[in-house]
Structure 1
Amino acid sequence: MNRADADVIVVGAGNAGFAAALAAAERGQRVLLLEKAPPGAAGGNSYYTAGATRIAHDGLADLLPVLEHDSRLADTTVPPYPAQEYFDDITKLSGGRNDPERTAVLVDESHPTLSWLHSLGMRYELLYDRQCYPQPGGGHLFWGGLHLGNVGGGVGMIEDYTRIATAMGVEIRYGQHVTGLVMDDGAVAGVTVGAGPERQNLHAGSVILAAGGFHANPQWLVENFGAGWENAVVRGTPYSTGDMIAAALAVGAARDGDWSTAHAVQLDAHYPENSSNRELTNRLARLSYPMGIVVNREGRRFLDEGADFRNYTYSRYGKEVLRQPGGIAFQLYDSTTRPTLRPDQYDMPGISVETAETLEELALAIGIDPAALRRTVDEFNASITSDAVFDPTVKDGRVAAVQPPKSNWAVPLETGPFYAYPVSCGITFTYGGVKSDAHGRVLDEAGDPIPGLFVTGEMLGGIYWGGYPGGAGLALGAVFGRRAGTLA
Structure 2
Amino acid sequence: MPPSDPEVADVLVIGSGNAGFSAASSAAQHGARVILLEKAPAAWAGGNTTFTAGAYRTAFAGLSDVLPLVTNAPASIASRIDMAPYTPADFMADLRRVTDARTDPALALALVNESNETTKWLHALGVRFVLSFHRQAYEIANRFKFWGGMVLAVEDGGKGLVRMHQAAAKRLGVDVRYDTPVTGLVIENGAVVGVTLARPDGSTTTIRARGGVVLAAGGFEASPRLRAAYLGPGWDRAYVRGTPYNTGELLHAAMGEAGAASAGNWSGCHSTCWDAAADANTGDPGLTNQYTKSGYPLGVMVNAEGKRFVDEGEDMRNYTYAKFGRAVLGQAGGVAWQVWDAEGAGWLRKEEYAPDVVERVEAGSLEELADRMAEKGFAGKAAFLDGLAEYNAAVAAFRRENPNKKFDPSVKDGMSTRSSASGLTLGPDKTNWATPITKAPFLAVKITCGVTFTFGGLKTDAATAGVVSQVTGKTIPGLYVAGEMVGGLYYGNYPGGSGLTAGAVFGRKAGREAARRAGVRAAL
**So what's the TM-score if we normalise by structure 2?**
0.91
Matched residue type, 2:21? F
1:73 Cα deviation (Å)?
Answer: 2.7
Does the 8 Å CA contact 1:256/1:433 hold for their aligned counterparts?
Answer: yes
Residue 96 of structure 2: which of 91, 97, 109 is its match? 91
Residue in 2 that maps onto 1:25: 28
Residue in 1 that maps onto 2:183: 179
Residue in 2 that maps onto 1:430: 454
Does the 8 Å CA contact 1:359/1:370 hold for their aligned counterparts?
Answer: no
Once residues 70 and 95 of structure 1 are traced to their aligned partners in structure 2, the CA distance between those partners, rounded to angstroms, is 36
Identity of aligned residues (%): 44
Once residues 59 and 299 of structure 1 are traced to their aligned partners in structure 2, the CA distance between those partners, rounded to angstroms, is 44
Matched residue type, 2:446? P
Residue 493 of structure 2: which of 467, 479, 483 is its match? 467
1:336 Cα deviation (Å)?
Answer: 1.4
CA shift digits 1:331-362 (9 cap, x unpaired): 00001111111121112614111000111111
Q: 1:394–1:86: structure 2 CA closer, same or farther, 3 Å change rule? A: same
SS of 2:487 mapped into structure 1: coil
Residue in 1 that maps onto 2:110: 105
Residue 48 of structure 2: which of 42, 45, 50 is its match? 45
Q: 1:348–1:127: structure 2 CA closer, same or farther, 3 Å change rule? A: farther
Is 1:169–2:178 an aligned residue pair? no
SS of 2:176 mapped into structure 1: strand
Is 1:224–2:230 an aligned residue pair? yes
Residue in 2 that maps onto 1:121: 126
Once residues 481 and 279 of structure 2 are traced to their aligned partners in structure 1, the CA distance between those partners, rounded to angstroms, is 36
Does the 8 Å CA contact 1:441/1:454 hold for their aligned counterparts?
Answer: yes
SS of 2:430 mapped into structure 1: coil
1:474 Cα deviation (Å)?
Answer: 0.3
Tell me which structure has the larger Cα radius of gyration.
2
Once residues 102 and 371 of structure 1 are traced to their aligned partners in structure 2, the CA distance between those partners, rounded to angstroms, is 49
Residue 466 of structure 2: which of 430, 441, 444 is its match? 441
CA shift digits 1:12-57 (9 cap, x unpaired): 0100000101110001100000011101111010000010000000
Q: 1:350–1:342: structure 2 CA closer, same or farther, 3 Å change rule? A: closer
Matched residue type, 2:468? L
Does the 8 Å CA contact 1:103/1:463 hold for their aligned counterparts?
Answer: yes
1:152 Cα deviation (Å)?
Answer: 1.0
Once residues 237 and 369 of structure 1 are traced to their aligned partners in structure 2, the CA distance between those partners, rounded to angstroms, is 34
Q: 1:247–1:93: structure 2 CA closer, same or farther, 3 Å change rule? A: same
SS of 2:342 mapped into structure 1: coil
Is 1:476–2:502 an aligned residue pair? yes
SS of 2:244 mapped into structure 1: coil
Is 1:203–2:208 an aligned residue pair? yes
Residue in 2 that maps onto 1:375: 386
- Comparing 345-354 with 239-248, greater Cα deviation is found at 345-354
| Equivalent residue pairs, number | 487
Is 1:319–2:322 an aligned residue pair? no
SS of 1:336 mapped into structure 2: helix
- Comparing 104-113 with 194-203, greater Cα deviation is found at 194-203
Is 1:347–2:354 an aligned residue pair? yes
Q: 1:163–1:75: structure 2 CA closer, same or farther, 3 Å change rule? A: same
Residue in 1 that maps onto 2:484: 458
1:98 Cα deviation (Å)?
Answer: 0.9
Once residues 481 and 461 of structure 2 are traced to their aligned partners in structure 1, the CA distance between those partners, rounded to angstroms, is 9
1:198 Cα deviation (Å)?
Answer: 2.4
Once residues 254 and 392 of structure 1 are traced to their aligned partners in structure 2, the CA distance between those partners, rounded to angstroms, is 43
Once residues 284 and 123 of structure 1 are traced to their aligned partners in structure 2, the CA distance between those partners, rounded to angstroms, is 24
Is 1:145–2:149 an aligned residue pair? yes
1:272 Cα deviation (Å)?
Answer: 5.9
CA shift digits 1:64-118 (9 cap, x unpaired): 1211143433322222111101011111111111111110110010010010111
- Comparing 150-159 with 266-275, greater Cα deviation is found at 266-275
Residue in 1 that maps onto 2:13: 10
Matched residue type, 2:246? S
Does the 8 Å CA contact 1:54/1:147 hold for their aligned counterparts?
Answer: yes
Gaps in structure 2 of 5+ consecutive residues: 419-423, 515-524
SS of 1:55 mapped into structure 2: coil
Does the 8 Å CA contact 2:290/2:357 hold for their aligned counterparts?
Answer: no
Once residues 279 and 118 of structure 2 are traced to their aligned partners in structure 1, the CA distance between those partners, rounded to angstroms, is 38
Matched residue type, 2:386? R
**So what's the TM-score if we normalise by structure 1?**
0.97
SS of 1:192 mapped into structure 2: strand
1:120 Cα deviation (Å)?
Answer: 1.6
Matched residue type, 1:59? G
SS of 2:193 mapped into structure 1: strand
Residue 198 of structure 2: which of 178, 186, 194 is its match? 194
- Comparing 265-274 with 127-136, greater Cα deviation is found at 265-274
Does the 8 Å CA contact 1:269/1:352 hold for their aligned counterparts?
Answer: no
Residue in 1 that maps onto 2:521: none
Gaps in structure 1 of 5+ consecutive residues: none
Matched residue type, 1:392? P
Matched residue type, 2:356? P
SS of 2:343 mapped into structure 1: coil
Residue 35 of structure 1: which of 33, 38, 42 is its match? 38
Q: 1:69–1:435: structure 2 CA closer, same or farther, 3 Å change rule? A: same
Once residues 197 and 300 of structure 1 are traced to their aligned partners in structure 2, the CA distance between those partners, rounded to angstroms, is 53
Matched residue type, 2:309? F
Does the 8 Å CA contact 1:129/1:343 hold for their aligned counterparts?
Answer: no
CA shift digits 1:283-338 (9 cap, x unpaired): 11000100100000110000010000000000000011001011110000001111
Is 1:301–2:305 an aligned residue pair? no
Is 1:392–2:416 an aligned residue pair? no
Matched residue type, 1:396? D
Once residues 416 and 47 of structure 1 are traced to their aligned partners in structure 2, the CA distance between those partners, rounded to angstroms, is 37
Does the 8 Å CA contact 2:7/2:206 hold for their aligned counterparts?
Answer: no
Once residues 209 and 307 of structure 1 are traced to their aligned partners in structure 2, the CA distance between those partners, rounded to angstroms, is 36
RMSD of equivalent CA atoms: 1.5
Does the 8 Å CA contact 1:265/1:316 hold for their aligned counterparts?
Answer: yes
Residue in 2 that maps onto 1:249: 255
